[in-house]
Chains A and B, each alone.
Chain A
Amino acid sequence: MPDIAGDGPEEQPLFSERPDWTDVTPVPQYEGYNPIAPIFYTPQYYFRGIVKTNEKSERVLELTEAIIRLNPAHYSAWQYRYHTLLAIKAPLDAELKLMDSLAVQFLKTYQVWHHRRLILTAIYSPPPSNASGLNDPTATTSSSAKSKPSPESQAAARTELAFITRVLMVDAKNYHTWSYRQWLLAFFDDVHLWEGELGFVERLLEEDVRNNSAWHHRFFVVFGRGQLQGEEDRVAVLKRELSYTKDQIALAPNNASAWNYLRGILERTGTSFSNLRSFVEPYTKTHEDRLGDEEILDLENPAPSAEAELPCVAALEFLADIYEKDAVSKSVEIWKRLANELDTMRKKYWEYRIKEALKDVPVQS
């Protein structure tokens, strides 16, 4: 059995030297023989001791906080902390404040966000009482159990959203953070909160139009949630989204996020790609080719700027997809150009598209 090496730099003379901890028997870890990748760090003897006696008290909060700061991925410490908070009826808003201060440090750790979900749920929608109280109350399908949050909680929701916004300023694409924001919106399910999200996404995209997480969030807000209160007019929604997306494409045409969004909303609403032909065509030409075109200011179809890198591969792909239905030879022409000249990394993909499209074409005898 390997020796546990001496104190690492993170060891505080905390528990072994404190008189208020002398009643706890520190419990060594069971390792057995030749453990895999044993990690030499401060033994969490005291935590195992607490768990053994099932102690739920104030000092447990102090202990679990120390462990979490050392090892934010220590899910048992988080779990035990949560149960302790509930058992001693600790003030949960104070817990949230503590989490705020840890969030930026540990924002890449799943447990920080999971704990936050648990705390929010405990404050605004207490879990069903069950024997062990150990079941996860954030299960999305705990149907009868969850009560609707009260109206006052809108203020709390806004505070939470503001917190998430601050965290996103540190790391604008953090997956956990965005998932948490989406969970929060669904949890409170308040129409005003949903509506505020469009402006939020727009601000983020002003900073970085290629932030795919923001584009994804927009799709979630517009199409992903259940009841679209106040958004019954689907036609108006589609018009608004198309207009917004076209403007962003005009600003920066070589942006896969915007094109994926465009394709996504068309597919989701069952709208034919050919509806966007007049918008897309200018993006498929070079600047020189476009010189011959008439300069018509069309607000519905913003044109590429002079600085845009043309032709735009995504636009050509889009046009080829339009042609695939009834002018497949034109699609083939575009795919060949992409394969051989404009998008050679995906040469085999474009050749595959040609092969697949021609498979369906009836052979003329």
Chain B
Amino acid sequence: MSGSELPKLARVAHAGHCNRCLSALPSSHIQIDASRLAIGFYCFGTLDLLGSIYEKTKEIEREGWREWLWHQQTSGIHGTGFKPSSYMTQDRPYGTDPEEYSEYDTPHLIMTYTAILSLAILRDDFEQLDRNGIVRFLQACQREDGSFTSFPNGGESDLRQVYCAFAISSMLDDWSGVDVDRAVSFIQQCSSHEGGYGQQPTGEALGGTTYCALASLYLAPSVSDLHAPNPHVTTDERRRTIRWLLQNQASSGGFSGRTNKDADACYCFWCGASLHILGVGDLVDRTAFLSYLASCQFKFGGIGKAPEDRPDPYHTYLSLAALALFPLEDADPSWKLPRLNALWNTTEDTADWIRQHVPLYTVKAQSPVRK
């Protein structure tokens, strides 16, 4: 099948799916209350990729979302970060100042990453960002072995948190909150015999954490550009990782996350972006890749993990992000998506906005104008 024979990308329907999820989710989705900020990011990211933020949403809604996001920024003894939602936050009269967070309502590292990206997509000016507080929070989350926990006082610690810490530091352009050498050493310990990276040092090679490992290693401050050999990845390791990643492209064209498992649309991003970061994105069979993702489109909007599966914002966003990385020349114009920054996982336009507004010092400012 050539690119021109593919069905269209149902842009309007996918935007609709994410827009609906932003408004409300049913009680059956109770489990994601602890990660609502992440869902928000997948929805905003989808609208950003489809270029529909301004078409599909009203300024008053965007203002409201920005305000809600800022309500999740919380400060306290371990520094500042964003909570996943206010599900643990005591009510207080609207407009009053929040107290410092309790030990059970602390910021969350992954949610901090998604919050910053969401605010950038919504073109916030980041005047309210407590940069120094966030740096202290990162410090509080890093463990002796170099990994990062989700919370300063515990929670899971694996490559996902490392990636978020690196991405945040990179966006802030401030690495003082991270012991980079220790973190890199932790990342390298997660490399498995198969060539991919597991979630933690004993873990089976997995697509998502392979992305987290590689993106982190290429975001690290000692690395200047994607095209030079990376000091943290040996030639042999790179060769094995490339081999394992490409082995995961199934006959359907989609990627699986682990050896001998079924293809899943989200791994089209995790594995595809990994290959892109390693400089060998061209080796992916692009037509097969696209045709798999096309077949995962749900008839009422949204993209699911496999054909016929129910959609969700996570798979919708990651499928579109994957498609943005692997454009096909002769495909229908509906498939044309903006360029993606593979390391931060956002559009290049949003990445530009981040560069201009998130760091304390930017090219234009002579002295810090924000806290």
Known contacts: A32-B71, A70-B30, A256-B260. The answer to whether A37 contacts B202 by CB under 8 A is no
Known contacts: A216-B204, A352-B280. The answer to whether A267 contacts B104 by CB under 8 A is no
CB distance from B113 to the nearest CB of A (A): 15
CB distance from A173 to the nearest CB of B (A): 7
Known contacts: A36-B65, A71-B34, A175-B206. The answer to whether A52 contacts B193 by CB under 8 A is no
Q: Within 8 Å CB of A135, what residues of B?
A: 153-154
Q: Within 8 Å CB of B259, what residues of A?
A: 212, 256-257, 260
Q: Contact check, A260 vs B194: say whether CB atoms are below 8 A apart.
A: yes
Whole-angstrom CA separation of A200 from B15 in the bound complex: 48
**Residue A110 at the B interface, CB < 8 A?**
yes
Binary contact readout A174-193 vs B (1 if CB under 8 angstroms, 0 otherwise): 01001100110010000000
Q: Within 8 Å CB of B251, what residues of A?
A: 345
Q: Contact check, B204 vs A41: say whether CB atoms are below 8 A apart.
A: no
Q: Within 8 Å CB of B202, what residues of A?
A: 179, 182-183, 186, 220, 224
Q: Contact check, B246 vs A346: say whether CB atoms are below 8 A apart.
A: yes
**Residue A311 at the B interface, CB < 8 A?**
no
Considering only residues 148-200 of chain B, those with a C-beta below 8 Å from chain A are 149-150, 153-156, 192-195, 198-200
Binary contact readout A22-40 vs B (1 if CB under 8 angstroms, 0 otherwise): 0000011111111111111
Q: Within 8 Å CB of B155, what residues of A?
A: 75, 79, 114, 136
**Residue A51 at the B interface, CB < 8 A?**
yes
Select the stretch in B45-53, B90-98, B124-132, B297-305 that faces chain A: B90-98
CB distance from A216 to the nearest CB of B (A): 4
Considering only residues 1-54 of chain B, those with a C-beta below 8 Å from chain A are 21-27, 29-37, 39-40, 43
Considering only residues 240-284 of chain B, those with a C-beta below 8 Å from chain A are 240, 242, 244, 246-247, 249, 251, 253, 258-261, 280, 282-284
Q: Within 8 Å CB of B103, what residues of A?
A: 132, 134
Q: Range of interface residues on chain A?
A: 35 or more
Whole-angstrom CA separation of A49 from B91 in the bound complex: 11
Q: Contact check, B31 vs A71: say whether CB atoms are below 8 A apart.
A: yes
Whole-angstrom CA separation of A140 from B156 in the bound complex: 12
CB distance from A321 to the nearest CB of B (A): 10
Binary contact readout B288-326 vs A (1 if CB under 8 angstroms, 0 otherwise): 100000000000000000000000000000000000000
**Residue B85 at the A interface, CB < 8 A?**
yes
Whole-angstrom CA separation of A29 from B222 in the bound complex: 44
Q: Contact check, A48 vs B90: say whether CB atoms are below 8 A apart.
A: yes
Q: Contact check, B260 vs A210: say whether CB atoms are below 8 A apart.
A: yes
Whole-angstrom CA separation of A186 from B25 in the bound complex: 41
Q: Within 8 Å CB of A73, what residues of B?
A: 31-35
CB distance from B80 to the nearest CB of A (A): 17
Q: Within 8 Å CB of B143, what residues of A?
A: 139, 141
User: Which residues of B pack against A, CB within 8 Å?
Assistant: 21-27, 29-37, 39-40, 43, 61, 63-65, 67-69, 71, 85-92, 94, 102-105, 143-145, 149-150, 153-156, 192-195, 198-200, 202-206, 236, 240, 242, 244, 246-247, 249, 251, 253, 258-261, 280, 282-285, 288
